[in-house]
A and B are shown apart, each in its own frame.
Chain A
């Protein structure tokens, strides 16, 4: 018997053409207890608003688990399930495989159901990176893994993760008299790594909820292209970053304008910058990183030297062969640059 391929049918989700065309229905509503100014809660809301009602959401351990879902109450209008801290990849894969098997064998009504698994930066970029990576190679299962990156283990008292920016003050990296900077590692490049390392993953994007319509449209693209996809969202966190909750939106914008966090999509291997990042690529000057860093208490201990180091590292990102996306430099150009010196 010849192997029959079951098509990766997806839902039809056209992009929203402007904020006035966005649907009114909400699938993440009241019933959660996230902090004032929580950008990640907004990401959850926009994510399922973009996905619509025929969606299953899996949430790995983190603040979007603990603060969102307390027994006897839930903000989720769509089916939702907890998964273990390092399991967002496996949760997406298992759910998609279960649905596909049952539909293929006629045990369940066949229809495209969106499967979204979300993870924080700790669950996704630290503990769960292996499972996410594996899932992005399983091209026959449609799923989206959305990493909401508030740059710390924010649910457990703000401990540093592999995604915490250089030098930030967390409860695991308190500045002291002997050591001003405890956390000396540079943040992982998750979206670039996922795009570069998984040749059959058709769609990777970075988003920021400060640009809500763009963000929702990236989710819709990720859910309709077929196969496993990955979105990295940068989420300002008033508690972890130590700023006035009213500034969440502004800090998201500053992260983009300073070039610390680039907005781009990689679709079938094509890199496409969008929003304010596109302007930067086209020549608009980046704002100095100090405008972004000094609005946050977690960098209050930074000296001029620290600010200069941070700025230089960000400048370096923009020298990459594919600026701010993949940290590769071609040998011939690198050599040429040395010769000029």
Chain B
């Protein structure tokens, strides 16, 4: 016990004023990554700038490779991971799209790479601002996918990401999505833990009998055709199912070691306990939503927020339990899915699908807003809430999707 106390005293967190991208770089240094590949595209590239400083400053010992495109960027770390290196990569917008072939192959190869997507609108036309469609490309492919909201969450989630992805029960890639500019570039006070604590939480990556090495002369990814491919898809599916348990375990352990972190890994609930209307969003949209909710609460309107952290695996049961209590649900998508059911964004239709088997299904209203980094205003949120209260009163879901803040 005495030793434990001494270690705890020596192991104090330090406070730093850093951006979301810098917080990820702090976590990568603590995780002692082995190979990292960079290629410029805004806004994710701020994380690589931060890593480059860590390398040149001697805080991080890793092979730091500036690639000649995102395709190579992701292929290089994929192969490094196969020989047992802990790797990191990332991109934004069309850069993430350029790497698509390499993103496709990692789940079935069971490569636990961790990537940062600095969410950005897709071309054309060129736009730097946030949209979630880039990261959502991989939602069906066996990538775990989560959205973060603060620098602290960026740091903590990066450590959790390696713990989850590199768990042998999972061995799947994981993308952390951070809203471009709003999070990647915005600074906040962040608690950076000491390495000793991280070492207690995050074991070494061990690929075991899947490691490519002359001592383990395996043949990886031979041609399978119709003889085996469906079994391999099923294995990926089972790994994704197991990830649910592993994520729960990781957050529990994170709280034990670091003394912070959410009870519910899957989503943040803000004033939902007695809420008549629950709004749903991902990422930094939580800020205007929370401010507006406080304003409405002051006027006696019972509104709450569910901010989804994890999109894959999707927390169906817990989300249904949380939403069933409400009289209406409003989903604000920072993405689009043209031609989809009700013309809704991806999150709204996922929530609809999740609620289909629920005993109680509150009416659902879907919104598309904040595209290309457009500000979601308090006025927008008030309008959204009014429409949700109207749906609660009528007991009917709205069949259209409402676009917020569009010049018409």
* A interface list, Cβ under 8 A from B: 1, 53-56, 58, 65-66, 69-74, 76-84, 86-87, 89-91, 93-95, 97-102, 104-105, 107-108, 113, 130-131, 133-134, 138
In the A-B complex, list the 4 residue pairs whose CB atoms are closest, starting with the nearest.
A94-B79, A98-B80, A90-B75, A69-B222
Contact yes or no, B72 A84, CB < 8 A: no
28 CB < 8 A contacts A-B: A55-B214, A56-B213, A70-B222, A71-B224, A71-B225, A71-B227, A77-B217, A79-B217, A79-B219, A80-B217, A81-B220, A82-B220, A84-B71, A86-B71, A87-B102, A93-B72, A94-B75, A94-B77, A94-B80, A95-B83, A98-B79, A98-B80, A101-B63, A102-B85, A130-B69, A131-B68, A131-B75, A134-B72
Shortest Cβ distance from A69 into chain B, in angstroms? 4
Instruction: Tell me the smallest distance from the CB of B112 to a CB of chain A, in Å.
Output: 13
Q: Does B62 contact A (CB under 8 A)?
A: yes
Q: Which of the residues A81, A98, A134 comes within 8 Å of B67, measured between beta carbons?
A: A134
Structural contact, A100 and B63, CB atoms closer than 8 A: yes
Partner of A79, one of B62, B77, B105, B214: B214
Given contacts A71-B224, A71-B228, A130-B69, 4 further A-B pairs with CB under 8 A are: A79-B219, A81-B220, A134-B68, A134-B72
- Measured CA separation A90–B79 after assembly (Å): 8
Residues A91 and B79 in contact, CB atoms below 8 Å apart: yes
Q: Are A95 and B79 CB-contacts (below 8 A) given A1-B58, A100-B63?
A: yes
- Is B35 part of the contact surface with A, judged by Cβ < 8 Å? yes
A1 to B56: give the CA distance in the assembly, Å.
10
Please, which residues of chain B bring their CB within 8 A of the CB of A89? 72
Kindly provide the distance from the CB of B233 to the nearest chain A CB, expressed in whole angstroms.
14
Instruction: Determine if B78 is an interface residue (Cβ-Cβ < 8 Å).
Output: yes
Alpha-carbon gap, A113 to B228, bound state (A): 32
Which of B167-222 touch A at CB < 8 Å? 204, 212-214, 216-222
Question: Does B80 lie within 8 Å of A138, measured CB to CB?
Answer: no
Task: Report Cα–Cα, A138/B35, bound state, in Å.
Answer: 14
B80 and A95 contact, CB distance less than 8 A: yes
Q: Which residues of B contact A131 (CB under 8 A)?
A: 68-69, 71-72, 75
Inter-chain contact B223/A69, CB cutoff 8 Å? yes
Q: Determine if A101 and B68 form an interchain contact, defined as CB atoms under 8 angstroms apart.
A: no
- Check if A71 sits within 8 Å of B223, measured CB to CB: yes
Which residue of A has the minimal Cβ distance to B205?
Answer: A107
A56-B212, A95-B79, A102-B34 known; A107 and B71 CB under 8 Å?
no
A150 vs chain B, min Cβ distance (A): 18
Choose from A66, A83, A105, A113 the contact partner of B214 (Cβ within 8 Å): A113
Residues of B contacting A77 in the complex (Cβ-Cβ under 8 angstroms): 217
Q: Residue of B at shortest CB range from A86?
A: B71
**Cα distance, A134 to B38, chains bound together (Å):** 13
- In the complex, residue of chain A having the shortest beta-carbon distance to the beta carbon of B214: A54
Say whether A84 contacts B79, CB under 8 Å: no
B57 to chain A, nearest CB (A): 9
Q: Closest A residue to B102 by CB, please name it.
A: A84
Smallest beta-carbon distance A171→chain B, Å: 21
A98 and B102 in contact, given A66-B223, A82-B220 (Cβ under 8 angstroms): no
Q: For B67, list chain A residues within 8 Å (CB).
A: 90, 134
A87 near B75 with CB under 8 A, answer yes
Residues of A within 8 A of B75 (CB): 83-84, 87, 90-91, 94, 131
For residue B84, give the distance in angstroms from its CB to the closest CB of chain A: 6
A87-B72, A89-B72, A95-B212 known; A102+B58 contact, CB < 8 A: no
- CB pair A65–B223 under 8 Å, yes or no, is yes
Contact residues of B between 207 and 258, Cβ < 8 Å to A: 212-214, 216-225, 227-228
Report if B358 contacts A (CB, 8 A): no
Q: Are B71 and A87 in contact (CB under 8 A)?
A: yes
How far in angstroms is the closest Cβ of chain A from B10?
Answer: 22
A contact residues around B58 at 8 Å (CB): 1
Question: How far, in angstroms, from A93 to B218 measured CA to CA in the complex?
Answer: 20
Give A54 to B217 CA distance when docked, in angstroms.
10
Chain B stretch 122-150: residues in CB contact (< 8 A) with chain A = none
Complex Cα spacing A19 to B78, Å: 39
Residues of A within 8 A of B79 (CB): 58, 81, 83, 90-91, 93-95, 98
B65 at the interface (CB under 8 A from A): yes
CB distance from A129 to the nearest CB of B (A): 10
List residues of chain B with CB within 8 A of the CB of A101.
34-35, 61-63, 80, 85
- Distance in angstroms from B54 CB to nearest chain A CB is 13
With CB as the reference atom, state the residue of chain B lying closest to A60: B75
CB of B101 closer than 8 Å to a CB of A: yes
Q: Is B82 an interface residue (CB 8 A)?
A: yes
**Whole-angstrom distance between the alpha carbons of A107 and B206 in the complex?**
10
Closest to A52 in B: B214
B322 in contact (CB, < 8 A): no
A61 to B275, CA, bound (A): 55
- Please give, as numbers and ranges, the residues of chain B lying within 8 Å of A82 by CB-CB distance: 220-222
Structural contact, A107 and B204, CB atoms closer than 8 A: yes
Q: Are B222 and A56 interface neighbours, CB within 8 A?
A: no
Report A58 CB to chain B, min CB distance, Å. 7
The CA of A160 and the CA of B32, in the complex, are separated in Å by 46
Indicate the member of A71, A100, A105 with the most B CB atoms within 10 Å.
A71
Cβ distance B213 to chain A, nearest Cβ, rounded Å: 6
Tell me, in angstroms, the Cα distance from A16 to B45 when the chains sit together: 49
Measured CA separation A51–B267 after assembly (Å): 53
Name the distance in Å between B249's Cβ and chain A's nearest Cβ. 25
- Tell whether A69 pairs with B219 under 8 Å between CB atoms, given A102-B83, A102-B84: yes
- When C-beta atoms are compared, the residue in chain A nearest to B78 turns out to be A94
